[in-house]
């Protein structure tokens, strides 16, 4: 991947940085830093969407029928049984498309609009694939792991948006985690490319696959330029995202974490649901 040299070298030397002075629930102190920052970057994870009813792979929703969800989110699983994987993703798409953005999503939108008016730079990077940031109205968004609203042809590689539920007639009524059926839908009846009729797959970066270099490069540029970094609703244990906060701290830039169970050594920590702590920290009043 075309990482910048500084970020590349930092990933190689992770662990050399001492932890900062921790400030828990210091809304006033955080607001002073926030108000003075001209370039703000945000990384969000599954915790942001939890209040919209979307579970996480590593939480109680990590099982689908008798399968570990993480085992289905792989190219190997798709090649072995595309019918099973598409049933799983039909369920995930339906859940995501029927979910509504919550107060955390909306607070980020309102803050981004405030930044635009004040000629400040706001960059939102998300590990989520549910598209709720986009639907909420966020503009400068980088979806690191892809999106459920997009599909990719396994033959011609065309990527395009598709929010149909069901995505094809053969998947109608399929995917319910409580009603397991034999996943035996013929490949000929699974979602097909509008361009070449090849088999479609979700445009998701599955486990074991390489992140989009263009998207990641834009994220790194934001990390190298930001004056404040927010980590929202993510444990950030998967690289390269796990290296984002330490990299920013190594530059001497403050980091704030919003999570129900913060685990990082950062400058500011806000414990609790993101839909509660984030609007307050950003100065956004949401009823």
CATH label of the domain that carries residue 266: 3.40.50.1220
- Say if residue 184 carries a ligand binding annotation: no
My answer on whether 183 and 286 are in the same domain is no
- Say if residue 51 carries a ligand binding annotation: yes
The greatest distance separating any two alpha carbons of the chain, rounded to the nearest whole angstrom, comes to: 59
pLDDT band at 62 (very low <50, low <70, confident <90, very high): low
My answer on whether 229 and 279 are in the same domain is yes
How far is the CA of 94 from the CAs of 88, 166, 215, in angstroms? 10, 8, 26
Nearest to 128 by CA among 149, 159, 157: 149
My answer on whether 156 and 282 are in the same domain is no
Q: For residues 242 and 238, give the distance between their C-alpha atoms in angstroms, rounded to a whole number.
A: 5
My answer on whether 156 and 119 are in the same domain is no
- Say if residue 274 carries a ligand binding annotation: yes
My answer on whether 150 and 255 are in the same domain is no
Helix ranges (H only) for 118-209 are 132-136
- Say if residue 261 carries a ligand binding annotation: yes
Is 145 part of the annotated catalytic residue set?
yes
Q: What is the DSSP letter of 190?
A: S
How far from chain centre, in Å, is Cα 36?
A: 27
My answer on whether 190 and 124 are in the same domain is no
Task: Return the SS3 of 114.
Answer: helix
- Asked whether residue 11 carries a pLDDT value surpassing 60, the answer given is no
pLDDT band at 112 (very low <50, low <70, confident <90, very high): very high
My answer on whether 254 and 217 are in the same domain is yes
CB 230 within 8 A of CB 256: yes
CB 287 within 8 A of CB 106: no
Q: For residues 136 and 93, give the distance between their C-alpha atoms in angstroms, rounded to a whole number.
A: 17
My answer on whether 116 and 195 are in the same domain is no
My answer on whether 92 and 109 are in the same domain is no
- Of 183, 204, 225, the residue at which a domain comes to its end is 204
- Say if residue 49 carries a ligand binding annotation: yes
Catalytic-labelled residue, pool 67, 105, 133, 145: 145
Burial class (CB in 10 A: 0-12, 13-18, 19+), 160: middle
CA 158, 163, 166 angle in degrees (round to 5)? 110
Q: Which domain holds residue 265?
A: 1-54+101-145+210-287
Q: Output the CA torsion sign for 167, 210, 217, 100.
A: positive
- Say if residue 74 carries a ligand binding annotation: no
**Which pLDDT score, from 0 to 100, does residue 224 have?**
97
Q: What is the DSSP letter of 187?
A: G
My answer on whether 105 and 90 are in the same domain is no
CA 242, 248, 253 angle in degrees (round to 5)? 145
pLDDT band at 21 (very low <50, low <70, confident <90, very high): low
- Asked whether residue 14 carries a pLDDT value surpassing 50, the answer given is no
Dihedral pair phi/psi, residue 13, rounded to 5°: -110, 30
- Of 182, 204, 226, the residue at which a domain comes to its end is 204
Total domain count, the chain: 2
The mean pLDDT of 110-130, rounded to a whole number, is 97
My answer on whether 141 and 20 are in the same domain is yes
Most confident of 49-58, 148-157, 206-215, 259-268: 148-157
What CATH number should be reported for the domain holding residue 164?
3.30.1600.10
H or E segment and range at residue 120: none
My answer on whether 47 and 189 are in the same domain is no
């Amino acid at each position: 991947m075309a990482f910048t040299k500084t970020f590349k070298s930092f990933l190689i030397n992770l662990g050399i940085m001492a932890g900062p002075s921790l400030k828990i629930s210091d809304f006033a102190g955080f607001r002073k830093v926030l108000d003075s920052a001209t370039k703000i970057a945000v990384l969000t994870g599954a915790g942001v969407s939890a209040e919209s009813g979307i579970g996480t792979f590593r939480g109680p929703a990590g099982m689908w029928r008798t399968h570990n969800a993480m085992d289905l989110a792989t190219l190997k699983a798709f090649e072995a049984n595309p019918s099973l994987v598409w049933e799983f993703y039909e369920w995930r798409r339906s859940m995501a498309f029927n979910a509504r953005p919550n107060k955390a999503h909306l607070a980020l939108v309102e803050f981004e609009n405030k930044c635009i008016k004040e000629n400040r730079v706001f960059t939102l990077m998300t590990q989520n694939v549910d598209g709720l940031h986009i639907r909420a109205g966020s503009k400068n968004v980088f979806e690191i792991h892809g999106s459920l609203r997009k599909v990719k042809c396994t033959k011609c590689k065309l990527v395009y948006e598709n929010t149909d539920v069901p995505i094809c007639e053969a998947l109608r009524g399929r995917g319910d985690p409580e009603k397991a059926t034999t996943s035996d839908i013929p490949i000929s009846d699974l979602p097909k490319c509008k361009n070449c009729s090849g088999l479609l797959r979700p445009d998701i970066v599955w486990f074991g696959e390489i992140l989009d270099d263009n998207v990641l490069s834009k994220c790194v540029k934001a990390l190298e330029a930001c004056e404040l970094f927010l980590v929202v609703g993510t444990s950030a244990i998967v690289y390269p995202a796990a290296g984002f906060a330490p990299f920013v701290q190594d530059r001497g830039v403050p980091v704030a974490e919003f999570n129900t169970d913060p685990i990082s050594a950062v400058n500011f920590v806000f414990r609790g649901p993101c839909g509660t702590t984030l609007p307050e920290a950003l100065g956004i009043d949401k009823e």
